[in-house]
Structures are given as C-alpha cells and as structure tokens.
Structure 1
Amino acid sequence: MQQASLPLAGKSAVVTGGARGIGRGIVMALAEAGADILIADLLEDDMRATQEAVRGLGRKALVRRVDVTDAAQVQAMVDQAVAELGGLDILVNCAGVISIHPVANLTEKDWDFVMGVNAKGTFLGCKAALGPMRARQSGRIINVASIAGKEGFPNLAHYSASKFAVVGFTNALAKEVAQEGITVNAICPGIVRTYMWDRLADEWKNDGESVEDSWARHQLTLIPQGRAQTPQDMGRMALFFATMDNVTGQSVNVDGGFTFH
C-alpha cells in the first residue's frame, strides 16, 4: 500500500495509556492508518514493545513516561509531540484506572485516585492539546470513557462517576471548539479482556467458579452478541473519529449491544 493512500499519512498522534490493552489497540490502528505516534504511559517494558510494533509499520514512534494527573508532565508530553512529530493532530486520552469497593468502604484516597487519573487526566490532556490544535484550526480529540459512563455498576460507583464525567466533559468541550476545526468524541468500551476485566471477573465470580468461568459467563449473560469486544475494536472506532470531520460531541458504545444509550 502506498503511503499517500493511508488516511492518516502525515498525521501525528499522542495516546495516553498506550502501552497495552485498549490503548495499544488504538495506537496500532492509528499507526496502521499512517500516523506517527507518541505513546505515553508508566509501563516501560510495554511501552517499548508497542513502540517497536509501531516502528515495524514504518512509522515514527516516541515513548514518554507521563503521570496524567500532573499538568506539567502532560504539557511536556504535548510539547514533545509538537517538536518531534511536527505537530499534534490527534489526542487519545486512554489512561485509566479502576478499583472495586462498595461506597460504604470507599476511601477518599480511592476516590481521588480513580477520579484523578480518569477525569482529571482527560481534562489535562484536552487542555494541553487545545493550544497546538487551535493554532492549526484542526484536531481530533478522542477520550476513552466506558459503558460505566452510561450506567452505574455496583461496587464501581467511583469508577462510574469518573467515566460519566468524561462523557459530560467530552460533549461540553466539543461544543466549545465546534467552530475551530476540532472534534471531541468518546469511545465507551464494553467488556474487553484486559487487566481491568480480569479483576472484575475475579471479583464477580460465583462460588466454586474460576476466573475463566466467570469471564465466559459474563460474556454470555451481559453481551447480546455473546462475545467480548477487543482492543482492535476500539482502535477501529478511534480511527473512525480520527477521520470524520462532521462527528463531534458523541460518546459511542462499542459493546456488542450491552447498552443502548
């Protein structure tokens, strides 16, 4: 395939939480479409592995350790992308964390940690990206929320709150920048076999049930299609948002029919 035929040829992207799981799926989809990528994460070995995979496609790939709750680190991430990749066309805020507690046992520390990474991290990433995107009057911001940002789940009230925040923030920011050539959308993944869902499958297993049995049961009982989603599914949704000029303010479920709103 010729470089010129790739839809993101000549574009540059930053993906937070891009080292593994959904983040890596998004990184690879954007790279396969022609984008150069800065991968931001805290997982050194996984970042390097993903970097090599992107370079194997003939794209530029940078890695940077970033705590997305630290405004200075987030700004430095964006500045590096602009300086070394020639600009910032696409930002994907995928860094996320989860913990499992009923509200009665939820500590302020747990609340602040989950809200800090998931909600504040998204805010800081978007704020830092607006400068270079406004300078070009062009940009694509893609936030990774969750179906837990559309409906609540027991023992995940703080996680749901953080993802509801991402959904609302996405819609509001999209309206702020709608006439500046910048779109802002969110992906709401369903059940994806990542580290997070392994923890949930373990937490929610029935008596005598293994994690694998719990995982299989949740796919069959919660997903009308009867099968889990994949990081590659999320990558394809990110590519859609990255290439659409006239779609903004949306939070789209990629969940096999789990939710309808």
Structure 2
Amino acid sequence: MEKEFEGKYALVTGGAGGIGFAAARELARRGLSGVILADMNAEAAEKSAAELEAATGCKCWGRYVDVSSPESIEELFAFAAATMPGLHILVNCAGVCPVTPVEELDAAKWDWCMNINLRGAHLCVREAIKPMKAQHWGRIINIASLAARIGGIASSVSYAASKGGLLAATKSYAKVLAKDGINVNAVCPGVVRTAMTANTAYTCDGIPMGRLGETDDIAGVIAFLASEDSRYITGCGIDVNGGQYMS
C-alpha cells in the first residue's frame, strides 16, 4: 500500500488546507510521486507544499489559482503540463460555502458561488482530461456535499444547488469518459471540521456516530477512489457523513 501511487502525479484544487490538503497528504503517504497544491491563497499553498514534501518525500508545488477565472485555470494546467511528466489524479476541492439567506441571494451572489463550486470544477475537468485521455488513465474526484442530497439548512441555497449540480455533472463525465479509461466520482461529506466550518453553529445532533467529520475521514475515501481498487467504480457519489444520510 505504501507505494501504490508511485509514478502517479496529482493536482488538488483548494489544496492549501482542509480536505484538499488532507487528500494530498494521504496520496503522498501512499507513494505519490508529485502533487500540485493549487489554492487562491498562494502563500499558504507554498507553505503546505513545502511541509508535505519534507514530511513525505513527494515532490510538491504550491500554486495560485482562482477557479472562478477560466484564464487562471488554464495557467494552472499549463504549469502542470510543463512541470510534471503526467497528470493522473485530479481532486476538485476548491469551493465556498456561503450562508446567504434566500431573500438576499441576488444574481451576483448566486453567480459567485456557481462560478467557483460548479463552473470552476467543470473547467478543471476539461483541462485535466487532455493528458488523461492521452495516457488512457485518470481518476477525477469531485468534492460535493451532503447538501447535494438533502439541501442546505445552514448553507445557502446556492451552495446546495452548486453541489447538486456537481454531483449530476460527475455522472455525465463518468459516462462520456469511461471509454478513455477515466473514472469520475464524487465524495459527499457531511459536516467536516475545517476552517470553513469553524465559525458555524453545526453540532453533532442527527449524526449517529456522535461526532463531526475530520479531514482524514474524507481523505481516505478520496485515496480509495484514486486507486486501482476503484477501477470498476465510476459515476458514484460516496456519502461520508457518520450516518447522517443513508442511501
């Protein structure tokens, strides 16, 4: 298991911290050869990359990206093509979780959330499949949400809609890319203890396991979906929520 990702290269958006960094760390622990941690906070991405490389020996790069900008995404993947010998794994983790009430959710706020959580993820998929098709192998893992299943309560309608859209898009990507050897799946976390949720009023009420999720709870599932063990799984949304929602 330690070397199962040897020779593989990954790109993680939202990789400076939270679920994205935990996913990169788990892949690196299992022998990943290289990873780009892409984040809007370039300084944090560079710091996290240095920390991860020192701890695991995996070659790491911290890189700025604004996934609401098509040009920024194109620049990121051009960097990846120039820096790494291949791209095998994409983890679409960059996102925002607004709590805007319906009455205040105007067109600008709606578009802001959609452009980051849904359009940005799509444009990253669009770029990632170019090298993946050429090598006839790829793993794409989109980070959706429990809100895609049951709707948002504390989170905005726009957040739930964006994650629901990402879950639906995952199924479409999986269907059209299967012939190219590219598996596309989504992970739907419940409430996970991250900087994004630190200032919210989420509790353990309604969670049978009696605790909030940790980033490593999600990272292990992402690593599974990136591995050969998931070779016959595509188009799925994997629920990781401590039993809060069961399908």
Sort the TM-score into its range (normalised by shorter chain). Answer: over 0.9
Q: Give the TM-score of the pair, scaled to structure 1.
A: 0.89
State whether structure 2 residue 232 is matched by structure 1 residue 246: yes
- Segments of structure 1 that go 5 or more residues without pairing to the other structure are 202-214
Structure ID, larger Rg: 1
Query: What letter matches 2:10 in structure 1?
Result: A
RMSD of aligned alpha carbons: 1.4
- Per-residue deviation, residues 178-203 of structure 1 (Å, max 9, x unmatched): 111000001111111112222331xx
Query: Is the 8 Å Cα contact of residues 46 and 63 (structure 2) preserved in structure 1?
Result: no
Give, in angstroms, the shift of residue 44 of structure 1: 2.8
- Per-residue deviation, residues 130-160 of structure 1 (Å, max 9, x unmatched): 1111111110001000001111123521100
Query: Is the 8 Å Cα contact of residues 78 and 88 (structure 1) preserved in structure 2?
Result: no
Q: Which residue of structure 2 aligns with residue 49 of structure 1? A: 47
- Per-residue deviation, residues 95-134 of structure 1 (Å, max 9, x unmatched): 0001112211212221111111000111000001111111
Q: Which runs of 4+ in 1 moved over 3 A?
A: none
Query: What letter matches 1:161 in structure 2?
Result: A
State whether structure 2 residue 30 is matched by structure 1 residue 33: yes
Distance 1:192 1:80 in 2: 31
Query: Is the 8 Å Cα contact of residues 98 and 113 (structure 2) preserved in structure 1?
Result: yes
Q: Which residue of structure 1 aligns with residue 173 of structure 2? A: 173
Query: What letter matches 2:5 in structure 1?
Result: L
Query: Is the 8 Å Cα contact of residues 146 and 163 (structure 1) preserved in structure 2?
Result: yes
Query: What letter matches 2:243 in structure 1?
Result: G
- Per-residue deviation, residues 77-102 of structure 1 (Å, max 9, x unmatched): 22222221211000011000011122
- Could you say what secondary structure the match of 1:197 adopts? coil
- Could you say what secondary structure the match of 1:200 adopts? coil
Query: Is the 8 Å Cα contact of residues 23 and 220 (structure 2) preserved in structure 1?
Result: yes
- Could you say what secondary structure the match of 1:239 adopts? helix
State whether structure 2 residue 187 is matched by structure 1 residue 187: yes
Give, in angstroms, the shift of residue 47 of structure 1: 1.1
- Segments of structure 2 that go 5 or more residues without pairing to the other structure are none
Identity, % of aligned pairs?
Answer: 37
Query: What letter matches 2:53 in structure 1?
Result: R
Q: Which residue of structure 2 aligns with residue 78 of structure 1? A: 77
State whether structure 2 residue 243 is matched by structure 1 residue 257: yes
Query: What letter matches 1:99 in structure 2?
Result: P
Give, in angstroms, the shift of residue 260 of structure 1: 1.3
Query: What letter matches 1:240 in structure 2?
Result: F
